[in-house]
Amino acid sequence: MRWPIRIQWYLPTALLLAATVAVTALAGSWSAMSRATHERERQLDRIVRTFGGARVPYTPEVLERMRGLSGAEFVAAWRDRGPIAATLPIAELPSDWWELPDGQVLTVRLDGLEYRLTGLRAPGDPPGLRLFVLVPAASYSQLQREAAWPPLAIGGVTLLIQLGVSGLIALRQSRRLSAVSDGLAQIASGTFTPLASQGPDDEIADLTVSANRLAGQLSSLHAQIRRTERFRVLGQLASGLAHQLRNSVAGARLAIQLHRKRHGEEQDQTLETALRQLELMNRQTRSLLALSRSEGRPPVPIALADLIDETVLLCRPQAEHAGRELHSRVAPGPGPIVDRDDLQAALLNLITNALEATEAQGTVQVTAGPIEGGERWSVEVVDDGGGVPEELLESLFEPFVSGKPEGVGIGLTMARAAAERHGGSLVHRRDGRLTRFRMELPVPGALAGSGIPSSFDSAPPSALGTTNGPQREDGPPWEGSVPDEPGADRR
């Protein structure tokens, strides 16, 4: 049988409160009854002493007045002649009344009513004359009831209030626990929405915080699992595609090389450009194989500066054909040593995306230099295109997410994966009219104190110039009008 925690809290508390209030009320009632009885007896004792110490004529009128003052019945009588005055009808007194010593109390019954009888003799009264005082026993009961009711009533009201307050507190706490329970049930079903904190800062609030922390961790694990599954599917897809492309690219490159050798066209720039583009395709194919981890190749180390120069050279024909300007600037000094194929694939994707995102006569700039005192290097690809569509910002680096009709959505995924394999990171931000993709890479062996300037990182792209290709001499590449319309998607 289900035993709700509300009942577990409320029932023992209610029973304890009921027992405490009941004992307190009964004790108070008993005390009030005792005090009332004692007060009544003291009152009658004062009356007896008053009449016993004074000479009062025992006439019917006097006895009636005493009855009105005290609420008791009075009988004055001679022992041998019977009653001479009385406030109640009585013809003959029982003999035991005369045997009652003064001040003593005797319980008697007259006409079916119970009385408490006391006899007294005033100084100066002739022998045989005596005054009897009869107090109805019902007056004691009524007095006790009147004394008992207030404590019992107060105790009952107090008990009801305490039970009501306890019930409300138990209900409120139960609702808070139910909210946490419902939230945990949603977390178990895969909905990782944070729980709203309700009520004071107590243990239930701590439980809510722990549940929200659990939801956050499970959400991260769930996203990681989804990302891992996507990468697995992506790797399988990339592996099959890359093997086919590599064979085709190798055949095309071999055919061009044979054609150039047979016809003596070793200096033909058109064939040289075609060979560069085929080499570019070959590098991108190897990056797909690296993503799928199916090639099992050893890393090919290369200095970051040399890698940037080589990558920009590969991309320059695409920039010239599209009417874009492509600049690069690498700060002097020893930079990271990276895996050539892995990181070049990342740079190729970033530069190609930037070239596609800019309008005609647009500018793309690649910069690299030390940050954090030389312990890390940053590589930035900056363009003046329209930027990433807002709806893609949250899932920008997720695989198979693309806003282009012909896009596959794996370029930025591959770029971030390459950066992370090097122990670095890749982030995106919009800086005014410029779009920046910033990759940070660690430098093995801190370069702090090596004399490499750290101010390079804060320099604007327009101030960096170029080391490859022509440099604009009519002003920085970002001057002039930059279109505000959204540019091409970068996926």
pLDDT in tens, 302-342: 888 899 998 998 888 889 888 999 999 999 877 888 888 88
Can you tell me the distance from the alpha carbon of 236 to that of 301, in angstroms, rounded to the nearest whole number? 26
Can you tell me the distance from the alpha carbon of 488 to that of 359, in angstroms, rounded to the nearest whole number? 9
* Domain co-membership, 335 together with 290: no
* Domain co-membership, 99 together with 246: no
Can you tell me the distance from the alpha carbon of 316 to that of 327, in angstroms, rounded to the nearest whole number? 9
Is 80 inside a domain boundary?
yes
* Domain co-membership, 357 together with 484: yes
Residue at a domain's end among 147, 182, 214: 147
Can you tell me the distance from the alpha carbon of 200 to that of 464, in angstroms, rounded to the nearest whole number? 56
* Domain co-membership, 372 together with 232: no
| pLDDT tens digits, one per residue of 53-70 | 556 778 888 888 888 877
Residue 137 pLDDT > 80: no
SS3 269: helix
Q: Are 468 and 309 in contact (CB under 8 A)?
A: yes
Q: Are 438 and 380 in contact (CB under 8 A)?
A: yes
Is 166 inside a domain boundary?
no
Residue at a domain's end among 88, 123, 147: 147
- The pLDDT score that the predictor gives to residue 369 is 92
Can you tell me the distance from the alpha carbon of 386 to that of 394, in angstroms, rounded to the nearest whole number? 17
| pLDDT tens digits, one per residue of 404-428 | 666 667 788 888 988 998 899 999 9
Can you tell me the distance from the alpha carbon of 437 to that of 407, in angstroms, rounded to the nearest whole number? 19
Q: Which sign, positive or negative, has the C-alpha torsion 39, 43, 48, 54?
A: positive
Can you tell me the distance from the alpha carbon of 30 to that of 22, in angstroms, rounded to the nearest whole number? 12
Which residues are bridge partners to 83 per DSSP?
A: 77
Left if phi > 0, otherwise alpha if psi is -120 to 50, otherwise beta: which for 350? alpha
Distances (CA, A) of 155 to 20, 130, 141, 179, 469: 10, 47, 21, 36, 97
* Domain co-membership, 437 together with 366: yes
Left if phi > 0, otherwise alpha if psi is -120 to 50, otherwise beta: which for 292? alpha
Q: Closest Cα partner for 109 from 85, 90, 128, 130?
A: 90
Is 122 inside a domain boundary?
yes
Can you tell me the distance from the alpha carbon of 359 to that of 480, in angstroms, rounded to the nearest whole number? 13
Can you tell me the distance from the alpha carbon of 431 to that of 168, in angstroms, rounded to the nearest whole number? 55
Which class for 388: exposed (0-12), middle (13-18), buried (19 or more C-beta within 10 A)? buried
* Domain co-membership, 293 together with 303: no
- The pLDDT score that the predictor gives to residue 124 is 66
For tokens 């996926």, the residue is 491
Helix runs in 189-202, H state only: none
E-strand spans in 164-308? 301-303
Distances (CA, A) of 240 to 133, 243, 252, 254, 417: 122, 6, 19, 22, 19
Is 203 inside a domain boundary?
yes
SS3 85: strand
* Domain co-membership, 418 together with 428: yes
Residue 123 pLDDT > 90: no
Is 449 inside a domain boundary?
yes
Can you tell me the distance from the alpha carbon of 363 to that of 488, in angstroms, rounded to the nearest whole number? 14
For tokens 């070049």, the residue is 344
Which class for 165: exposed (0-12), middle (13-18), buried (19 or more C-beta within 10 A)? exposed
Is 171 inside a domain boundary?
no
Can you tell me the distance from the alpha carbon of 18 to that of 8, in angstroms, rounded to the nearest whole number? 16
Residue type, 211: A
Residue 92 pLDDT > 70: yes
Residue 449 pLDDT > 70: no
CATH of the domain at 242: 1.10.287
Is 74 inside a domain boundary?
yes
Can you tell me the distance from the alpha carbon of 338 to that of 466, in angstroms, rounded to the nearest whole number? 22
Q: Are 354 and 365 in contact (CB under 8 A)?
A: no
Can you tell me the distance from the alpha carbon of 384 to that of 363, in angstroms, rounded to the nearest whole number? 6
Helix runs in 296-410, H state only: 304-322, 340-357
Please tell me what DSSP assigns to residue 195: P
Among the residue ranges 162-176, 187-201, 285-299, the one predicted with the least confidence is 285-299
pLDDT band at 467 (very low <50, low <70, confident <90, very high): very low
Counting other chains too, the contacts that 474-478 makes at CB distance below 8 Å and 24 or more residues apart are 477/325, 477/327, 477/363, 477/365, 477/384, 478/363, 478/384, 478/433, 478/434
- Percent of residues, the chain, with pLDDT higher than 70: 71
Can you tell me the distance from the alpha carbon of 152 to that of 19, in angstroms, rounded to the nearest whole number? 13
Range of the domain at 346: 299-491
* Domain co-membership, 315 together with 271: no
* Domain co-membership, 328 together with 232: no
Please tell me what DSSP assigns to residue 50: H
* Domain co-membership, 275 together with 315: no
* Domain co-membership, 346 together with 485: yes
Residue at a domain's end among 254, 272, 297: 297
Better-predicted residue by pLDDT, 157 or 381: 381
| pLDDT tens digits, one per residue of 9-21 | 667 777 887 888 7
- The pLDDT score that the predictor gives to residue 344 is 87
* Domain co-membership, 276 together with 363: no
Distances (CA, A) of 363 to 140, 380, 466: 110, 14, 12
Which class for 451: exposed (0-12), middle (13-18), buried (19 or more C-beta within 10 A)? exposed
| pLDDT tens digits, one per residue of 229-288 | 766 666 666 666 666 676 677 777 777 777 777 766 666 667 776 776 777 677 666 666
Residue 390 pLDDT > 80: yes
Domain count of the fold of the chain: 3
Please tell me what DSSP assigns to residue 464: T
Distances (CA, A) of 37 to 23, 106, 119, 136, 144: 21, 16, 20, 13, 7
